Structure 1
Amino acid sequence: MKTKVLAALAATMAVGATCAFAANPFVDVPSDSWAYKSVVELADAGIIQGVDGQYFQGNRNITRYEAAEMVAKAMAHMDKASVEQRALINKLADEYADELNNLGVRVSALENRVGNVKLTGDARIRYIHQSEGDKDKAGEPVNAATKNDDSWSYRVRVRANAQVNDRTKVTYGVSTNDISFADNSTASNSDDNNISTDLANVDYNFGGNNWDLMVGRYEYIMGGPRAYGFFYGDTFDGAQLKYQNDKFAATAGYGKFKEGPIGGAWTVNDTNYASAKTAYGELEGFFGGGRMAGSAVGVYYNNIMPKAELLGNDIALDNIDVWGAYASVNFGKWNALANYETYRDAIVNGNGSKDNADVWVGKLTYGAANFATPKSWDAWVEYLNADQFDIAGTFLGSTNGWRNDSLTSNVKSWGVGVDYTFAKNAQFQVMQSFATSAKDGNADPGEETRAQFVFVF
């Protein structure tokens, strides 16, 4: 690669420019050269360093890695650039996005460019097979929900990310439902129910970039993104305040579930329940590599406030208290995750007591399947032990979870999976449960197989 990148950066050089130039840093750049002014400005801004700190070597081809280094340094001086210069640096950043990621300039940092509007999204094609569980004497499944079932479906999501200024970002997203290939004429696949707004929020960063306030509709996963995310949290309307640095993070929020077992209409013992609100808090600590790449431990609390209608009258239910803790530890290419949650049930039994439901999850992962890195892969194994949850009859994970309803409550179950990036931005994922049994002597549910292609753009 010739010096086109260098020339493009030089053309922007009001960035880092001063009234008087520093001394010529390179012995092979004469002061009467047409490029002398731009070379000195680039060196003075720290964008180029030359070869061995003495020679510019302007006729030498440069590698993409060297070009990305210069782009990264130019991005650090964005506040000194004009609108036109920022547009040029943004264009170069898009061209060298993969190299910048390898240099440690995170994608999220690239997206923090003023005036930048970016469309992203994903498409998923999924196959699910649910095998039969225990059968009665006639050979029929004891639980009709666990009969043999094969289904193909697809989902498409699109996100618009707009950087309003250095501190403020607006995100809007739409998503289809999981649409079955079997029959697109059903009510669940109709145009009225197919597409919905699942993201619509404003994110404001302040306090030296350590504080973050998000308001609107966002994805909420109980315990945060490092936890297992066992309870359903997609499409959540609320407000969240977060403080974080490389060692510690504290989060507090309040809002309303819009989907999941307590996010819509659901019925228990002839009682109709409306969407539940929740207040939540999380404390996390990071070590052995920092917040992004290291290990972490965390504790979290949710106070879920359901509302019910019984015989036409509103009644107040006791809140559901949820406590949880997790530990995610990296060692080499391995990651070990342990997660515990306990739920204080709002349903009162006939004897006046209340049930508590506990969930234990352990997961061991090797490798890391990265959408940006073809042929990258990971493999994992997990163990789940979940009590019966009476409020909605089941636990249900977020969109990051993979288990069907019948394998999330009153079960002990193992699972394995493999993720493989077969091309850039294209990944194949497969998951399989095994050795699943019901707790408390109930009928065993069947096993579940999932296989899916996921494409991001």
Structure 2
Amino acid sequence: MKINKKALAILAGLTVGMSSTAFAATADSFTDVPKDHWSYQALDYLAKEGVIDGMGDNTFQGGRTMTRYEMAAIVAKAMQKNDVNFGDKAVLDKLSAEYANELGTLKNQVNKNTSDINDLKNKTDKFKVWGMTRVQVGDDNGLVKDGHNGTYNNRFYMDLEGSMKVNDHATARFTVEKNAHYRDSEYANSKIPKMIKLTRKDGTTDYLETTNAISGIDKDSLLGDDNHNGSISNIWVELQLGKNHNWYTNIGRKWNGIGMQNLMLGGQVDGIATYHPIEGGHGWWMSAQYWKPSADWTTVSGTDQIKETFNADGSHKGWDTSSVKINTHRAPIVGSLDFWGPIGKYLDANIAYSRVVDHTSDTGNSADGYYTGAKNFYGVDLKAKLFKDFSVTGSYLKSDALLEDLNWLKPHADRTWAVRFDYRGTDLNKVGSWGAYAKWMDIGAVSDLGHDDEWATREPTFVNGVKGWFYGFKMVPWQNCEWETMWAPHLTENSDANWAGGAYTRHILRSWLDFHF
């Protein structure tokens, strides 16, 4: 870079004017400028002050002719300095007048670059993706009871979440969940053969033995796990409604929970829910929800009357399945009210109520309520912060299920108790942070609308009551990674049931490592 003597003299004069005392170079800013060169100190100072940058490779290339735009860039940087005296300002004014056109071009380019950066940032902010990947191992004797499999035990799992900003008060959201089971012994859907009665043309009968085993590929697909098969499992919009935009409203299909421990509800639902801070409520909130579980269910009848059919010559043609009846049952439609907030400094509370507003039972009567006969559900939670890093959460749930009509249940199947103790906790940004918990629960078979079953206490074995202790420990071994182990040494299941087989003792030991991104 070749600077004419007039320009360099102006810069040198400006440099001296900026410094009230003489100085000596302490470092070589440019490798190709000798220390004994008459301009060394001026160039070194300008580089340290950020007025000149050189060629980007630690060279100044003083033999190259400098363009007017490069000189304008130097002047522009010098003009940004605040600690210049009156004489320096006069020199800068002359330089700015000399290079006014070039400075205007540079300013326009900077403004355009700034606009492009802001536009790119706004586009990037409109779409965000985050989530978690889990590696899980464990042992669970309940997962093999009656032929059921280890759906929640040995697996790789991913939860991918995304948001798409529509405007300042509306966001579209989605989640994708995927289970991948890696233990071959857990791919059998049933170890108990099923006997189907066959009726021949001559009236004689026989039995065909079948199994429900499916392949590993099917197990990870829609056939085996429709909520964790890699498809979009939840999709909804989040709105901020009202004059103050503080009616936070969700519309669509998403995971939803009611109560501090999600005992009244904890699962995937379709519907609308709005959340709002109560005016003058001292930190209390309320929510109103209208929803139904997203999983309707079907029953199959008549499968023991599959008939053999024959061709005109009497040869086997196939099996007549016209007697097989598939009945679809719609999940109940529910309205819920939920209130939560602080009571004093160390106590929080949650009060919830749900009512089945529409449900068609097997009798075809929409007034029958839930399949248990329950139409009303009540829940109360209290969380006390007893001392630093230690809290206790107690929950109670009650329904008005018609126990007298459910002769396979014992009394108290319409209520649930749960107590959880938490000490400390984890922070994904703090390596070494840890927490421990203990939880006791007695879940009644017909007390809830679908509680959060994060530890698979009900689903794999399809039991009707769970009672016992859970213990857990978690920590952050690396940033954004959390390791957790849960142990339930003695769970009593079917504890509320009169049916054949009685209570069943189950143990769970499960450990997993989550990678958050």
Letter in 2 for 1:190: S
Provide closer, same or farther for how the CA distance between residues 264 and 355 of structure 1 changes in structure 2, counting only shifts above 3 A. farther
TM-score by length of 2: 0.56
Letter in 2 for 1:220: N
Report the counterpart of residue 47 of structure 1 in structure 2.
none
Q: Distance in 2 between matches of 1:408 and 1:310?
A: 21
Report the counterpart of residue 377 of structure 1 in structure 2.
434
Report the counterpart of residue 129 of structure 1 in structure 2.
139
Report the counterpart of residue 423 of structure 2 in structure 1.
366
Report the counterpart of residue 297 of structure 1 in structure 2.
349
1:264 Cα deviation (Å)?
Answer: 3.5
SS of 1:228's equivalent?
coil
1:221 aligns with 2:277: no
Q: Distance in 1 between matches of 2:290 and 2:330?
A: 17
1:430 aligns with 2:485: yes
Indicate conservation of the 8 Å contact 1:116/1:163, yes or no: yes
Report the counterpart of residue 47 of structure 2 in structure 1.
none
Letter in 2 for 1:161: S
Deviates more, 1:143-152 or 1:296-305: 143-152
Report the counterpart of residue 185 of structure 1 in structure 2.
216
Deviates more, 1:146-155 or 1:207-216: 146-155
Q: Distance in 2 between matches of 1:155 and 1:284?
A: 32
1:413 aligns with 2:473: no
Provide closer, same or farther for how the CA distance between residues 315 and 250 of structure 1 changes in structure 2, counting only shifts above 3 A. closer
Q: Distance in 2 between matches of 1:90 and 1:288?
A: 46
Provide closer, same or farther for how the CA distance between residues 281 and 389 of structure 1 changes in structure 2, counting only shifts above 3 A. same
Indicate conservation of the 8 Å contact 2:266/2:450, yes or no: no
Deviates more, 1:148-157 or 1:316-325: 148-157
Work out which of the residue numbers 198, 205, 208 in structure 1 matches 2:244: 208
Q: Distance in 2 between matches of 1:35 and 1:408?
A: 75
Q: Distance in 1 between matches of 2:245 and 2:170?
A: 11
Indicate conservation of the 8 Å contact 2:396/2:416, yes or no: yes
Q: Distance in 1 between matches of 2:440 and 2:237?
A: 37
Work out which of the residue numbers 344, 354, 360 in structure 1 matches 2:400: 344
1:234 aligns with 2:290: no
Indicate conservation of the 8 Å contact 2:473/2:484, yes or no: yes
Letter in 1 for 2:129: L
Provide closer, same or farther for how the CA distance between residues 320 and 153 of structure 1 changes in structure 2, counting only shifts above 3 A. farther
Q: Distance in 2 between matches of 1:323 and 1:88?
A: 50
Deviates more, 1:365-374 or 1:431-440: 431-440
1:398 aligns with 2:449: no
1:265 Cα deviation (Å)?
Answer: 3.6
SS of 1:374's equivalent?
coil
Work out which of the residue numbers 270, 277, 280 in structure 2 matches 1:244: 277
Indicate conservation of the 8 Å contact 1:371/1:425, yes or no: yes
Per-residue CA deviations over 1:378-420 (Å, capped at 9, x if unaligned) read 1000111122339xxx985436455344597433201100111
1:272 Cα deviation (Å)?
Answer: 6.3
Per-residue CA deviations over 1:405-438 (Å, capped at 9, x if unaligned) read 4597433201100111111221111111134335
Per-residue CA deviations over 1:172-213 (Å, capped at 9, x if unaligned) read 22222x332135635332366523322211111144343212
1:444 Cα deviation (Å)?
Answer: 2.9
After TM superposition, list the pairs within 5 Å mapping 1:29-428 onto structure 2: 34-36=80-82, 115-131=125-141, 144=146, 151-176=153-178, 178-181=179-182, 182=184, 183=187, 185-190=216-221, 193=226, 194-205=229-240, 206-223=242-259, 227-231=260-264, 233-244=266-277, 247-259=283-295, 263-265=296-298, 273-286=329-342, 295-304=347-356, 307-308=359-360, 310=362, 316-318=367-369, 319-330=374-385, 331-345=387-401, 349=405, 357-389=414-446, 397-398=451-452, 400-401=454-455, 403-405=457-459, 409-428=464-483
1:456 aligns with 2:513: no
Indicate conservation of the 8 Å contact 2:340/2:351, yes or no: yes
Q: Distance in 1 between matches of 2:219 and 2:341?
A: 42
Indicate conservation of the 8 Å contact 1:244/1:250, yes or no: yes
1:446 Cα deviation (Å)?
Answer: 1.2
Larger-Rg structure: 2
Provide closer, same or farther for how the CA distance between residues 207 and 377 of structure 1 changes in structure 2, counting only shifts above 3 A. farther
TM-score by length of 1: 0.62
Q: Distance in 2 between matches of 1:428 and 1:175?
A: 20
RMSD: 4.2
Letter in 2 for 1:335: S
Indicate conservation of the 8 Å contact 2:163/2:174, yes or no: yes
Unpaired segments ≥5 residues, structure 1: 1-6, 8-31, 38-81, 92-111, 134-140
Q: Distance in 2 between matches of 1:449 and 1:344?
A: 34
Per-residue CA deviations over 1:216-258 (Å, capped at 9, x if unaligned) read 12221122xxx11135533211111111266010100111211
Letter in 1 for 2:137: Y
SS of 1:144's equivalent?
helix
Q: Distance in 1 between matches of 2:81 and 2:293?
A: 60
Indicate conservation of the 8 Å contact 1:146/1:446, yes or no: no
1:126 Cα deviation (Å)?
Answer: 2.1
Q: Distance in 2 between matches of 1:336 and 1:266?
A: 42
Identical-residue share of aligned pairs (%)? 14
1:115 Cα deviation (Å)?
Answer: 4.5
Letter in 1 for 2:266: G
